[in-house]
Structure 1
Amino acid sequence: MSERLTIGFLPLVDACLPILARELGFAEKEGLDLQLTRDITWATVLDRLLYGHTDAAHLLAPLAIATTLGIGRPSQPLAAPFVLGLNGNAITLRTELADAVWPEPALGEPAAVGAALANEAHKAAANGRKLRFGVVHRHSSHNYMLRYWLGACGIRPDVDIEIVTVAPPFSADALASGEVDGSCVGEPWNSVAVDRGAGRIVLATAQIWRRGVEKVLAVKESHLAERAEAVEGLVRAMRQAGKWFVDPANKESAAAILARSEYLDGSADVIGRAIADEIVLEAGGGASPYPDFMFQYNEAANFPWISQAKWLYSQLILWEGKPFDAADATRAGRVFRPDLYRQALRGTGDLLPGASSKVEGSIDGPLAVGAEQGRITLSSNRFFDGRIFDPDKIEDYVASRR
């Protein structure tokens, strides 16, 4: 008899792995009956998980850390045994603003776009109306990546510009109505804004951090022991789904599944472009290829590196003005569970890194790294400004950014 697991998700392309694990039978082969619950906001996805309405969630990685640390609500420790994907977001600006900062019909260069945007932001602030950007949640990689880029380009978030929360399905509406001047959101919602003529894509967040961690599979830590076998089976099923997903021969089939009304309820053509790492930057334009716009499966992309969790912690305390706390840094790192990932995949022949942490931003690529299982070569994980993040020196890193 199958064991039921209910997973909450938002209608985004990077919810693909649990969806495909269910639809393609990979979960069933692991003895799992996956039930998927679609929501509109990250707050609701989290509430369902915390109050026991779901067993696991497609969740923002920083939100899992903030929830564990008790930031914004009483602490409830979460565990992330699986990274659902890297990259996949973009920055879309109102067309007039995009034309002012990057008139070229191509993805911009982060430093150049940032410098031009700084001029526009300072002019707008001097005229009494600050530019306003939308992100999907206060504790999201979208928020942190946007702030990282703006700060490195001389724009002070919350001082020179405003940042507000807009749920992903409403980001195009917020741009079209003029409520925000730009947004950082995952696909397909940038493309929806472009197709509606509400904005133009100027950057992919993969240009800011080439291997930026995105969503995770989150479960309540207190439930791990009783659902250990089911969680391990889900990890294996999603790895198989990821292998299928990245095969170019399956692009149209994957897009058709994700486009269904119970999942993304969107255009299979738009979803297919994201899967193929192709982006239409402006209304009426052709598709522009950007390799690794979304990054699943390859290079053990689903492995939960502790260093990724600690980078997210560094951004959390940096942008919320909190002091460094060694105990909190350790707790944040422990949200990501490479031990559970390894336990699920040992003996399968799948790729398993030998280490659980690395210096983020230090690889120009390609670089062969030690592996417990298989052979792993990592490509570039650079930040656009050339900084590196050593997870053993978080306090120094944060001090250098303040």
Structure 2
Amino acid sequence: MKHDHLITAGFVPLLDSALLVVAKERGFAAEQSIDLTLVRERSWATIRDRLAVSHFDVAHILGPMPIACNLGLTALASKMVVPMALGLGGNAVTVSAALWQAMADCGAANDLDAQRNGTALRQAIDRRRGEPLRFGVVHPYSGHNYELRYWLSASGIDPDRDMEIVILPPPDMGDALAAGVIDGYCAGEPWNTFGVLKRGARLATVKAAIWRSSPEKVLGVNAGWAGAHPEALSALLVAVYNASLWCSRPDNHEELASLLAMPAYVGRPAELLLPALKGVLPVSEGETLLVEDFFVPNAKAATFPWKSHALWFYTQMVRWGQVEHTPEHRKIAADTYRPDIYRDALTPLGIAMPSASSKVEGALRAETPVGSTGTLTLGPDGFFDGSLFDPDDVDGYISGQSRG
């Protein structure tokens, strides 16, 4: 088959690289005349740097990272756009057996409930003497960092005073926990499942419980490349969208786990990848729990780049002192996510997609049909503490946030 578009994409070996892997391996890229080269990287900083110097055209990347790059928060960074998300959810908070026991003594339960288990963690910290707890996240500009901090703060814990948050690559989390270097971590799969099944850890809660229907990885695109290759980018969005449909079908999960298990991709056994794909997660050794919306590759407009998601990430950058809040910074954050490119590329497919580019996060308490066709369902969404984020009132939201 003749390939009109040569595209190089970077990725980190995680479950949510699935859409790019499937686009290549199942032929969805080739169907769009794309020769897609996937390059595996160990760290998010390397992904960012190689996008900046045009080694990569696009990449599987942390949702907040392109915003941070556009705000000038990282030294080596090019302008980036986000024309597509790569799924909703996919993270969890994993803790050591010792910390779990302390939490259980304060009322924590194996149901992954963010409210109950956050309260138990606060009480366990209150009882604790000696060294403060240390938790790992994968990057300062990551959904992991912001959702962990949100959960802690809403539970009455100051993430900067009551504990220490350190940066570790995802594959190192379970080993650091087992060695006692950290007491817990927030990471993507398969590293929570690995921690539970291979390192004696426990699941405390999941992203889907902290902020329901929330974004994680996105397709980060070098803005210069996007401007010069609009047809190639549109073709890629079609390929990745078709891959998201394939990934969403339960009868493909076994094959998807086997694909991702290959050394070129995640390189871990399929049995560590299947739990998150099926939504049946090990919470402790020998005990599993069904979390239906743990990782959502296609449903609930999972690939749509909502500007309200970008703006919420921005409010957390402000909250934790990473950037000053100004009208210009707010605009840069909102303009990083590009639903217009998404719509232009995917409208010819005739799929249902949101007509709005932003939504009030937390407003949908139940699954809600939207749009004139009624074929698209959104929600439930929102934060475990019942708060709302209105993207039209960023100033009010920022002024109402506490540091802990």
**Length-normalised TM-score, structure 2:** 0.95
| More displaced stretch, 71-80 vs 313-322 | 71-80
What is the aligned partner in structure 2 of residue 118 from structure 1? 122
Give distance in 2, aligned partners of 1:105 and 1:281: 10
Residue 198 of structure 1 deviates from its aligned partner by: 3.6
What is the aligned partner in structure 2 of residue 313 from structure 1? 314
Aligned ranges 1:206-285 → 2 under 5 Å:
206-283=208-285, 285=286
What is the aligned partner in structure 1 of residue 370 from structure 2? 369
**Length-normalised TM-score, structure 1:** 0.96
What is the aligned partner in structure 2 of residue 291 from structure 1? 292
Q: Is this contact kept in 2: 1:83–1:217, CA < 8 A?
A: yes
- Summarize deviations over 1:190-234 as a string: whole Å, max 9, x none: 111112234111111110001111000001112212121111111
Of 58, 61, 80, the residue aligned with 1:59 is: 61
Task: Classify 1:75/1:262 alpha carbon distance in 2 versus 1 (closer, same or farther; 3 Å).
Answer: closer
Give distance in 2, aligned partners of 1:48 and 1:258: 23
- Summarize deviations over 1:373-393 as a string: whole Å, max 9, x none: 773221200210000000111
- Summarize deviations over 1:21-43 as a string: whole Å, max 9, x none: 00000000000011111111111
Aligned ranges 1:65-214 → 2 under 5 Å:
65-73=67-75, 76-102=78-104, 106-124=110-128, 127-214=129-216
Give distance in 2, aligned partners of 1:109 and 1:236: 36
Give distance in 2, aligned partners of 1:398 and 1:349: 38
Q: Is this contact kept in 1: 2:109–2:116, CA < 8 A?
A: no
Residue 368 of structure 1 deviates from its aligned partner by: 2.3
| More displaced stretch, 115-124 vs 212-221 | 115-124
5+ unaligned residues in a row in structure 1: which ranges? Answer: none
5+ unaligned residues in a row in structure 2: which ranges? Answer: none
Amino acid at match of 1:379: G
Give distance in 2, aligned partners of 1:323 and 1:71: 11
Q: What secondary structure, in the 3-state scheme, does the structure 2 residue paired with 1:37 have?
A: strand
Q: Percent identity?
A: 39
| More displaced stretch, 94-103 vs 31-40 | 94-103
What is the aligned partner in structure 1 of residue 391 from structure 2? 391
Amino acid at match of 2:314: Y
Give distance in 1, aligned partners of 2:40 and 2:324: 36
Q: Is this contact kept in 2: 1:7–1:58, CA < 8 A?
A: yes
Amino acid at match of 1:335: T
Give distance in 2, aligned partners of 1:293 and 1:108: 11
Q: Is this contact kept in 1: 2:359–2:391, CA < 8 A?
A: yes
Aligned ranges 1:312-351 → 2 under 5 Å:
312-320=313-321, 322-351=323-352
Give distance in 1, aligned partners of 2:318 and 2:76: 17
Q: Is this contact kept in 2: 1:85–1:301, CA < 8 A?
A: yes
Q: Is this contact kept in 2: 1:350–1:374, CA < 8 A?
A: no
Residue 58 of structure 1 deviates from its aligned partner by: 0.3
Amino acid at match of 1:152: A
Amino acid at match of 2:367: P
Give distance in 2, aligned partners of 1:97 and 1:335: 39
Give distance in 2, aligned partners of 1:268 and 1:91: 21
Task: Classify 1:74/1:251 alpha carbon distance in 2 versus 1 (closer, same or farther; 3 Å).
Answer: closer
Q: Is this contact kept in 1: 2:112–2:209, CA < 8 A?
A: no
Aligned-residue RMSD, C-alpha: 1.5
How many residue pairs match? The answer is 398
Task: Classify 1:401/1:51 alpha carbon distance in 2 versus 1 (closer, same or farther; 3 Å).
Answer: same
- Summarize deviations over 1:75-117 as a string: whole Å, max 9, x none: 6321000100111000000011112213767233212211121
Q: Is this contact kept in 2: 1:8–1:57, CA < 8 A?
A: yes
Residue 74 of structure 1 deviates from its aligned partner by: 5.7
Q: Is this contact kept in 2: 1:175–1:198, CA < 8 A?
A: no
Residue 247 of structure 1 deviates from its aligned partner by: 0.8
Residue 148 of structure 1 deviates from its aligned partner by: 0.3
Provide runs of 4+ in structure 1 moved above 6 Å. Answer: none
Residue 362 of structure 1 deviates from its aligned partner by: 0.8
